[in-house]
Amino acid sequence: MEVRLPYKIVRLETQPTYCTQGNTQLDFRLTLDGWVEGLLFYWVPDGTPPSEALEEETLYLERPFAGPEVRGFLTVSPEGRVLGAGTQGIEVRPDRRLWVRGVRGGVLGPYVGAVNVVRPDSTSFCDPSW
């Protein structure tokens, strides 16, 4: 049985890098056909299904969003936490991918993955903005 939702999220995009030396404001934009009551984000290592995200790798933004374009940012830590504290030192970090789900009437929509991966940048001049 297929459930047809009264909205559709497509073309989630993010910047190409995140910093490994401190927190990063991760810019995103997506195309939303319709409106949702909230957006549920998943910040997971590339190749990890969003359904396996750890609690600290998720963030729910509860407020109405209407299309056609939604822009914003999440603050992410080098360890992969959403809105988490940064750590000291430089470690090898995996490529990551941002995912989102719309919420309307308490029903979660399908997972929509960003069209690009976000690569770690350990340089001292890391500036991941678009």
Higher pLDDT, 43 or 62: 43
Is pLDDT above 70 for 62? Answer: yes
Segment 74-117, tens digit of pLDDT: 889 888 888 532 222 233 456 788 888 998 898 999 999 888 88
Question: Which tens digit of pLDDT belongs to each residue from 10-55?
Answer: 889 888 888 888 888 888 888 888 888 888 989 999 899 999 999 9
Q: Would you state the pLDDT for residue 27? A: 83
Q: Rounded to whole angstroms, how far apart are CA atoms 116 and 119?
A: 9
| Cα separation, 72 vs 11, whole angstroms | 14
For 3-19, write each residue's pLDDT tens digit: 667 889 988 988 888 88
Measured between alpha carbons, how far is 9 from 100 in angstroms, rounded to an integer? 9
Residue 90 has what pLDDT?
A: 30
Q: Which domains does the chain have, with CATH numbers?
A: 8-108 (2.60.40)
Q: Is 50 helix (H, G, I), strand (E, B) or coil?
A: helix
DSSP structure string for 98-127: EEEEEEETTEE---EE-SS-BEEE-STT--
